[in-house]
């Protein structure tokens, strides 16, 4: 199953114990394929460097190189969307999902979640995603 991870989900999954962290083994064992565009990667790196997370450049690099990048599929969106009106920067997640034929965007962002779905892409919280796909944990 191809998915896109919103930044808040990626940060929660990698840095904190909780529901989002249960998604990490799914991408690391290949039960899901995480799609990633250049714009999304840039946002991941920018957010991980926020002072509140207290991560050094070396720690951010290690997180990306060991926990995420070996397990992702790069996608190059071909068209820009303007679906998310309140926060247009969130459109990059839809663009990536459509370009990579993802089934789900996993997000905690209300602007994305309020859309529910766009075309064939469902937008779900980590808890909804895990609840709706129980077989992935045993895959």
At 74-109, the pLDDT tens digits run: 999 887 766 656 766 788 999 999 999 999 999 998
pLDDT of residue 88: 63
What are the extents of the domains in the chain? 2-138
Sheet of 121-124, strand order: 72-74, 33-36, 2-5, 104-106, 121-124, 117-118
pLDDT of residue 119: 87
Cα–Cα dist 31/27, whole Å: 6
pTM for the model stands at 0.91
CATH number for region 2-138 = 3.40.50.1010
Contact 11, 107 (CB under 8 A): no
Cα–Cα dist 12/91, whole Å: 20
pLDDT of residue 83: 64
Q: Dihedral (C-alpha) 104, 68, 42, 19: value to the nearest 10 degrees?
A: 50
Q: Is the dihedral of CA 67, 48, 99, 109 positive or negative?
A: positive
pLDDT of residue 78: 84
Q: Which residue ranges of the chain lie beneath pLDDT 70?
A: 81-85, 87-88, 138-139
């Amino acid at each position: 199953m191809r998915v896109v991870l919103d930044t808040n989900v990626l940060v929660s999954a990698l840095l904190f114990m909780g529901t989002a962290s249960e998604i990490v083994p799914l991408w690391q064992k290949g039960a899901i394929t995480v799609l990633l565009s250049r714009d999304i990667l840039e946002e991941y790196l920018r957010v991980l460097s926020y002072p509140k997370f207290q991560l050094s450049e070396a720690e951010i690099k290690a997180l990306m190189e060991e926990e995420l990048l070996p397990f992702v599929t790069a996608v190059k969106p071909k068209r820009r969307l303007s679906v998310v009106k309140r926060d247009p920067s969130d459109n990059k997640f839809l663009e990536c999902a459509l370009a990579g034929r993802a089934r789900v965007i996993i997000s905690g962002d209300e602007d994305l979640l309020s859309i529910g779905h766009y075309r064939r892409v469902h937008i779900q919280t980590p808890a909804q995603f895990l609840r709706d796909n129980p077989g992935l944990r045993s895959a």
